[in-house]
Amino acid sequence: MNLGPDLDEITLTGLRAAAFHGVLEEERRTGQVFVIDVTVFLDLAAAAARDDLAQTIHYGDLAAEIVAAVESDPVDLIETVAERVAAVVLAHDAARVTRVTIHKPSAPIAVPFADVAVTITRANRPRSVAAGFGLNP
């Protein structure tokens, strides 16, 4: 998705977290691995011009925060987990919009499958950026 020349992207792909989310008792008891993909849309121009980490988001720290959020407090739905991750990302001042995908490759489905995933897109600010995604921040 191209948001124009003023927004850039940081992408984390394939983060893994062991957690106990799910509707079924077995999922809550034994847990499973969840895979998380996150894209953060932000303006990286100042960080690049000044070579200044404080002007961007430290992706190592962000990855640890995301995994911690996924591994905490079991819930029924991966939709809820995705919202939790989006909130973690958008808590960073530099983040304007985020796209979060939560994969549940071991979901209890009775037919053969490769993956189950939920993807959400959420905006923090400003309204003009959110409007480009069809969102109301």
15-33 tens-digit pLDDT: 999 999 999 999 999 999 9
Buried b (16+ CB within 10 A) or exposed e, 79-106: eebbbbbbebbbebebbbbbbbbbbbee
Q: What mean pLDDT do residues 47-59 have?
A: 96
Q: Band the pLDDT of 124: cuts 50, 70, 90.
A: confident
Which residues are known to be catalytic?
104
Rounded CA gap, 4 and 20, in Å?
39
Give the pLDDT score at 137. Answer: 46
Rounded CA gap, 72 and 32, in Å?
13
Q: What is the dihedral of CA 114, 73, 10, 51, to 10 degrees?
A: -150
Q: What mean pLDDT do residues 23-47 have?
A: 96
Main-chain dihedrals φ then ψ at residue 109, nearest 5 degrees:
-115, 135
Query: With 60 as the cut, is the pLDDT of residue 12 above it?
Result: yes
Enter the tokens of residue 11: 């992408």
Q: What is the pLDDT of residues 73-116, one digit of tens each?
A: 999 999 999 999 999 999 999 999 999 999 999 999 999 999 99
Domains located in the chain, CATH noted: 8-132 (3.30.1130.10)
Rounded CA gap, 68 and 91, in Å?
15
User: Is 74:28 a contact under the CB 8 Å cutoff?
Assistant: yes
